[in-house]
Amino acid sequence: MTAIVLDGVSVARKTEQQLSDRVKSIRSKKGRPPILATILVGSDPASRTYVKMKQNACKRIGMQSVAIELPGTTTTEQLREKISALNSDILCHGILLQHPVPQQINERLCFDAISLQKDVDGVTCLGFGKMSMGQNTFGSATPRGIMRLLDAYNIDLAGMHAVVVGRSPILGKPMSMMMLNEDATVTMCHSKTKNLPEIIKSSDLIVGALGQPEYIKASWVPDGAVVIDAGFHPDGCGDIELGPLYDRVAAITPVPGGVGPMTINTLILQSVIAAERVM
């Protein structure tokens, strides 16, 4: 068996072509393009790189991005004030607060300060609740991107046993709820789960979202499974030992080039949707 490679780069590129036309339509009707505000607190090099990638994606489809950079000494209240000002700015359609923020900031309070209508990264508790209940709202960008990637390759989740390894509030938890909403039977696991290899061996689909390099071993993954690796580490590997799996699973996301491009693409897509909703 040769695995279908779930190519996030090609899916994102195709979507960008479509989004460019939608941005042109918004510009023709409103006289200005959609605007995504990106907030970077501190000088973490990786965070700066991620923000730049998102700004470049905006540029490619004709959107405008407004870069807000705050010092590493910023307080929770100062950051919330900045978010509040963006919530009130009718020219701003989406708000991205780059994760992580410095330790002295209460990240959850700041995420939840973002208006639901501008929560294009899907990080608020309110947005998570509405998504879990099947209401029309923006979802967390990475799991929503994974769902879009599965849909692009016509992978039907109904009846599948999906094992999600990781319980992050912006990845593992929303991923589990999105798959449950598509009629998968979901088992959520984490680093404290007992008998993790045995649970994974019973799965039809695995999502690695634990944040530890190659934590999930290839020997745990059953033949014919769908393998989604949402991790990315400095040495270029993900959360799953992918190498031995390409010739025995049904479908697999490469690292890099699988989930990552879909995360950024989903953020941009949801920003365009946010702008269309206020036209």
Four-residue CA torsion sign, 217, 218, 219, 220: positive
Four-residue CA torsion sign, 231, 233, 239, 245: positive
Inter-residue contact 243 to 269 (CB < 8 Å): no
Alpha helices in the chain (DSSP H): 8-30, 45-61, 76-88, 107-111, 125-132, 141-152, 172-181, 196-201, 259-277
d(CA 73, CA 7) in angstroms, rounded, equals: 40
| Main-chain phi, psi angles of 68, to 5 degrees | -115, 115
Closest alpha carbon to 260 in 241, 237, 232: 232
Point out the residues that are catalytic. 54, 98, 121
DSSP code of residue 135: -
d(CA 194, CA 81) in angstroms, rounded, equals: 43
**In angstroms, how far is the first alpha carbon of the chain from the final one?**
49
